Amino acid sequence: MLSALFSKETAEGIFADTVFYAVNMTSLEKKPDDGIQWLQSEELSMPLLLDVNGTAQRVYGVSSLPTTIIFDAEGREISRKTGTVSRGMLKSALHRAGR
């Protein structure tokens, strides 16, 4: 699902100036490399940040996974979605962020 979304949108140039990061809640995983395996299974190429001690989870108030948070260029949170994210939701949120 995600690989199809990113390849289509990247080809259209929609996400050209957008940076995506995956944050793995390592403290919640059974194995530390679960996040890497997930990125590989989805055929995604983005930085994977490891939240080993749960700091990002606490700071951003993440209570369930997956959670998608979109920030504008100044670092302000403009969108948050828990659960599956659709192409339309991403496009709408990125539009609000000025992308």
CA distances from 30 to 5, 22, 61, 75, 93 (A): 28, 17, 21, 31, 32
The confidence score (pLDDT) of residue 59 equals 93
Q: What pLDDT is stored for residue 37 in this prediction?
A: 87
Q: Is the pTM of this model over 0.85?
A: no
58: Cβ–Cβ under 8 A, 6 or more apart, which residues?
none
What pLDDT, on a 0 to 100 scale, did the predictor assign at position 90? 79
Residue 33 has pLDDT above 90, yes or no: no
What would the two tokens of residue 14 be? Answer: 């929609």
Return the amino acid letter for 38. W
Going by C-beta distance under 8 Å and a sequence separation of 6 or more, which residues neighbour residue 73?
A: 97, 98
Q: Domain limits of the chain? A: 2-96
2-96 classified as CATH 3.40.30.10: yes
Q: Is the pLDDT of residue 77 over 80?
A: yes
Give the Cα separation of 20 and 2 in Å (integer): 12
Half-sphere exposure of 68 (CA within 13 A, CB side): 15
**Does the structure show a pLDDT above 80 at 3?**
no
